[in-house]
Structure 1
Amino acid sequence: MHGWDLGWLTLAAAGAGAVNAVVGSGSLITFPALIAMGYPPVLATVSNNVGLVPGMGGAVYGYRRELTGQGPLLRRLAAAAGGGALIGSLLLLRLPSAWFRTVVPVLIGAACVLVLVQPVLARRPAAGRRRGGAWLPFGVFATGIYGGYFGAAQGVVLIGLLGASTTEHLQRLNAVKNALALTVNLVAAIVFTAFTSVDWRVAVLVAAGSTVGGLLGSRYGRLLPPTALRCAIAAIGLLAMADLILGSR
């Protein structure tokens, strides 16, 4: 890894940390950066996941006031998120790497769509919702599987699930989303560290950049034009899809 790569990856990680705090699609910044540097997709995913954990911790800290009074909901959903993450991370390690290269472009495409339609999900009417509907833990569990396997835009999925089942303010939902995403990435990081190789240079750089980005994103992210941010994330994701598809030929 050359000096330019070090600076580029740190900058990308800072952007990812900020985006994770505000929207939740940060891996669509760091993952394409690692692919462009020549890292194999599975190694890039594993090292990126481990590195993003501190940044998500920073985002949770930044939204700590919005978490006040949400302990019961968090405890109920964190177990589902962690259980799903355990399954997803083990699937990543057990399934053939060729499957990952085939499946991930599809997952990235779905993630890009979710990023773009998130405002529609957020505007769903509150009528008929009830706090933490009975189906919500199952949805969070499924999202945890996805997050443990790949994870890009899992925050967008979580916001959609939470918004469809509760009447909380969006910023309070975002705080819960950050805590659940941290749970997923932390469980997956433990599995990856225990059972496979991690590029610790990448993980440390991503951790440093995403921590700063997570803290800044939780403080200033509300000032960013959301439409421009979503379009930029989707564009990055489409480039990553093209790189993976063309690279597999």
Structure 2
Amino acid sequence: MPSAEVPLLLLAGVLSGLVGSTAGLASLVSYPALLLAGLPPLAANVTNTVALTGVTAGTAAGSRPELAGQRARLLRLVPLAAAGGAVGCLLLLALPAGAFELVVPFLVAGASATLLLQPRIKRLQPGRLSARNPLVLAAIFLVGVYGGYFGAAAGVLMLALTEVLHAQSLARNNALKNMLTGAANTVAAAGFAAFGPVDWWAALALGAGCVAGGRVGPVLVRRVDPRLLRGVVAVAGFALAVRLLLAR
């Protein structure tokens, strides 16, 4: 990778960390930046997954207040998300490139709509959705699979699930989302590091920025009106859905 691309990827990493830790759309910034830096799509995808482990590291450090008291949820749900990430990694390495991307725009649009409707969903079904429900567990696993395979807006999908499941602040659900998507991403990144065409210089530059952006993101979430943040996430999700649909 040319050294001239390093500042671009560092900046993209910071923005990805901010967007990923607050809205779950890190790949909206990081993946196009890797393509702009000259990486082919498959290499950009696996390099992006490796670099985004920096978001997990940053958000874990910055979200300790919001994660307090959520140990039981993490112990129950993180292994599911991580297992999904492993399956997603295997699918990407074994299947033709782009096979899963066909449904990505619809998944992203559906997740964005769920976020906008989340307050009404909670009023319609108070307490009926449990994190022990087999369908809920399957959904978390499948989002982990998606996160391991491609990952764009996996955070939107996971945030929609945590928002419907848990009657707590958006900041706390956002922190839980970051750990679940981070688990899936980290497991997939380990597989790609061993067997995928990772551009390590690009991954290091992008990842360094991700750590910084991910560290600041949770602080931003604490100071933003939840309704505003939910709206921004949903609009960004719809924009990404359109972008991915037009790019097919």
TM range (shorter): 0.7 to 0.9
Contact 2:148-2:185 within 8 A present in 1 as well: yes
Displacement of 1:45 in angstroms is 0.8
TM-score by length of 2: 0.86
Query: 103, 113, 117: which one pairs with 1:120?
Result: 117
Q: Which runs of 5+ in 1 are unaligned?
A: none
* Secondary structure of 2:52's aligned partner: helix
Displacement of 1:108 in angstroms is 4.3
- The Cα offsets for residues 202-232 of structure 1, whole Å up to 9 and x where unpaired, read as 1001111111111111112444853456545
1:69 and 2:66 matched: no
- The Cα offsets for residues 146-204 of structure 1, whole Å up to 9 and x where unpaired, read as 01001111111112112222223222111111111110111001111111221001100
For 1:205, the equivalent position in structure 2 comes to 205
In 2: Cα distance, 1:103 partner to 1:6 partner: 30
In 1: Cα distance, 2:153 partner to 2:119 partner: 15
In 1: Cα distance, 2:169 partner to 2:105 partner: 28
Closer/same/farther in 2, CA of residues 230 and 132 from structure 1, 3 Å limit: closer
Matches within 5 A, 1:87-106: 87-97=87-97, 100=98, 103-104=100-101, 106=103
In 1: Cα distance, 2:242 partner to 2:212 partner: 26
In 2: Cα distance, 1:137 partner to 1:229 partner: 23
Matches within 5 A, 1:215-234: 215-221=215-221, 222-223=223-224, 226=229, 227-228=231-232, 231=235, 234=238
For 2:104, the equivalent position in structure 1 comes to 107
1:132 and 2:131 matched: yes
The RMSD of aligned alpha carbons is 2.4
For 2:31, the equivalent position in structure 1 comes to 31
When structure 1 is superposed on structure 2, of 15-24 and 125-134 the one drifting more is 125-134
Matches within 5 A, 1:169-208: 169-208=169-208
* Secondary structure of 1:39's aligned partner: coil
Contact 1:26-1:152 within 8 A present in 2 as well: yes
Displacement of 1:73 in angstroms is 1.2
Displacement of 1:130 in angstroms is 4.8
- The Cα offsets for residues 128-159 of structure 1, whole Å up to 9 and x where unpaired, read as 33542413221111111101001111111112
Contact 1:76-1:137 within 8 A present in 2 as well: no
Displacement of 1:3 in angstroms is 5.2
For 2:44, the equivalent position in structure 1 comes to 44
Closer/same/farther in 2, CA of residues 122 and 155 from structure 1, 3 Å limit: farther
Runs of 4+ in 1 over 6 A off after TM superposition: none
TM-score by length of 1: 0.85
Displacement of 1:116 in angstroms is 5.9
When structure 1 is superposed on structure 2, of 86-95 and 121-130 the one drifting more is 121-130
Closer/same/farther in 2, CA of residues 220 and 170 from structure 1, 3 Å limit: closer
Matches within 5 A, 1:161-176: 161-176=161-176
